[in-house]
Amino acid sequence: MPKLSDGQGNALRVEEVVRQSLHSPETPCVYAENALLLSLFGLWLWPEMFRSIEGAFANPFQSAPLDFYQENFSVNRPKISKLWQLFENGEYAQAIRNTWQEKMGISNHLVHWSFLTYDLLDLALHSIPATDLKAIFERILFDIKMNRSGLPDLIQFFPAEKTYRLIEVKGPGDRLQDNQLRWLAYFAKHNIPAEVHYVRWQ
């Protein structure tokens, strides 16, 4: 039975109640929302995101290039094609791990360092198939500004089976937003495991 309040008697968010009900040491469930998949995307994209391109950086402390949300972001960086090849040759996971180790703590508009521990990174790369991760990255890159939000609240890992599922949680009176519906439709199209859990209090 999941707890409905914390140690101080404060009511837990509905997402945390569901997370606790699903979580086990063998099948860990994490409240991730946009943080996990965006962080993985940011680590994968890092070499091209921070490539020195004329007009992209006004100072060395930027967490993203000036054209990050512009339509020509990918066009200006044709070497992104080499990052896609990492999925074809199976090197994407090690490349992401290497970037985490080399860049840890350096500001990146997409990477949530306080959230993404190495253990969580390793668990995600172990459990999420390359085809799924590539498909998710493709949609984010297509329109970073629009598609960086709306990802499901929870992710549950099944490490023994090398799989996972994404879970959007909706409490009483809550409904799916347009960006969430678009992501869910995309997941269904690409056979990415995603569910919506509706919660009712008794």
Q: Specify if 39 maps to a domain.
A: yes
Q: Specify if 7 maps to a domain.
A: no
pLDDT at 194: 98
C-beta separation of 37 from 125 below 8 A: no
Q: Specify if 49 maps to a domain.
A: yes
Structure tokens at 188: 């269904």
pTM (2 decimals)? 0.93
Q: What is the pLDDT of residues 128-163, one digit of tens each?
A: 999 999 999 999 999 999 999 999 999 999 999 999
Can you tell me the distance from the alpha carbon of 139 to that of 74, in angstroms, rounded to the nearest whole number? 13
pLDDT at 202: 65
Listed residue (141, 149, 147) closest to 76, CA to CA: 141
Q: Specify if 2 maps to a domain.
A: no
Residue 156: count of CB within 10 angstroms of its CB: 21
Q: Specify if 157 maps to a domain.
A: yes
Q: Specify if 180 maps to a domain.
A: yes
- Count of structural domains, the chain: 1
Cα dihedral 105, 111, 116, 119 sign: negative
C-beta separation of 27 from 142 below 8 A: no
pLDDT at 97: 98
Q: Could you tell me the residue range of the domain that residue 188 belongs to?
A: 14-53+65-198
Residue 7: count of CB within 10 angstroms of its CB: 6
pLDDT at 1: 45
Below-50 pLDDT ranges, the chain: 1
pLDDT at 126: 98
Q: Specify if 44 maps to a domain.
A: yes
Q: Specify if 175 maps to a domain.
A: yes
- Phi/psi of residue 158, nearest 5 degrees: -125, 80
Can you tell me the distance from the alpha carbon of 133 to that of 94, in angstroms, rounded to the nearest whole number? 14
